[in-house]
Chains A and B, each alone.
Chain A
Amino acid sequence: MGITRRQFFGWMSAAIGSQMVFRPDAKAASTHYFTGYADSMGVLHDISRCIGCRKCEAACNQVNDLPRPERPFDDLTIMENHRRPHADTYTIVNKFTLPGVDAPIYVKKQCNHCQEPACVSACFVKALKKTKTGAVEYDASLCVGCRYCMIACPFNIPAYEYDNAFTPEVTKCTLCQPRIENGKLPGCVEICPKEALTFGTREKLIELARQRIRNYPDRYIHHIYGEHEMGGTSWLYLSPAPFADLGMREDLGVTPAPALTSGALAAVPVVVSLWIVFLTGIHAISKRKEQTAEKEKQAAIDEILMVQQEKLNKTVAQLKEKAKSEQAAAVKQEVEKALAAAEKDADQADSASDHPGNQEEK
């Protein structure tokens, strides 16, 4: 089978071209142009309003039927240590005492329900998905328990029921998806006495946050946390102090996590379909190489044979020559011998007939 270089490149370009032309959904599959579902819901947490009453924690516990914690929710001393959500605690409030600021600052922490969640892109069984309401939903029936979502989350949110030996689940805030669907507010939002939590469409919340900054420029850091962080989150934050001082990461950038891998992952189908062409090419090339090698080998052998034959012929010729000359010499010798013998015989015959002493004088 023969394949030329020109043919190989022809096939390759045809294959790449077909990937580009016949797969218009390739771009849609990448995340670069997704700006969130229209009218998806979110919560604006105005940190300057929070008084640290932990009512949201209690309400969350109640509406999600979570086990009662060891220490009751009206025990505010628990906030002396910084906590994070756990398997049976979907939200916590942390207390921050900043130097030079009299009053402590309280920050609620829970799943931020990213616009393009890292956990969703990390989950290979689609147990996590971003719904149109804004919530990042978890389907335990699909989960295989790999906990990649826990590693992927930049906010350290998903928790795992390590103490459940047989049917452990990943747990996190659900944005009270079932309540939202029934037209109710998330538990924490409904209970908050200070309206430090406001529920609404993300777009309205951003508008509201901007308005608050405009109306009270001295009260807030002029930044809405979550508007752009990691491509945006459904939970948004307004703060009277730098977010980094309140345990909120400011190093996340504005690129959604899936966008970081979509380039490499989008190349997978292309690679897969090109693989056959590529391998065929490689096979052809290696085959051709083998053939060439065989030919060259034969040529080399031929050449060697030829040289050897020549050498042989030469030797034979030389030997023949030698034999010939030897034969000739032998013949000559024999002839001479014979001649000598004949002469001798003749001399003897002469002396016998004439005077033997006059033989030389003759």
Chain B
Amino acid sequence: MSALLPIALITFKEGTRNRSFYGISLLALLLMGASFFISGMVIRDVGKVAVDMALSTVSFAGLLLVLFVGIDLMAKDLDKRTIYMVLARPISRQQYIVGKFLGISLLVVGTVFLLSIFGAISISAIKWANPDYFPRFSWGLVFLAEAFIAVSLILLSAMSFLFASVSSTSFLTLILTIMSYIIGHSLSSVKALVEAPQAAGITVSPLTVKLVQAAYFLFPNLSLFDIKMQAAHGLSLPMTYIIWTLCYGIVYICLVILFAALLFRKKEFP
């Protein structure tokens, strides 16, 4: 444990000082500001638009952070060999992976927290200007949606670690992570479609059904963490759904990092 903290802290510090981090934060702030003006142009459902805009901004900025800061932090270590500075210490490759992952997770949580504050300010301002359009609004649901966004982004980071452990270039890691994101968000809909193709009036081969079912179990189901619509409409979620989704996320993250650490054991740094 004593080796993990220094790695996590330097990763977090390096991440927060990265120029891309400031760019992403500025973009998020601009989008939050824009939502105030956009809500002024909407005739109905101002509350839903405000919540959806705030949560989408947090989610989008977090995704950019994982793809362009998180992957870069790992890639630089491997491409420019800054990893020597870490592995020359009494630190194993597995400890390096876990420490680095903790640092990036801390960065994701910190960023989502910061953006959530800006989101709350944006929603509060719109709510203050249009109090009649927030009949079923719930701060609890908004914060829960933001917590789910943080978990899904940490899960995506874990996937990027897994890909970085096996791929030879950071570009390949980036592509595979983007693919995981897209698959993770669309797979449950695709699975529902191929399992009941008659509803859509199409035919699907049994092989395709098996492939989609296999992919469903291999890739993380990120759509589970997307509760923006429920938060925007003020629809409550069953406690069992919340607990099971969080458990799914945590278990998936632990398994992926464990697997990444096992693969990283074999990696050489010539």
B partners with A: no
Show the binding face of A for B, using Cβ within 8 Å.
none
Show the binding face of B for A, using Cβ within 8 Å.
none
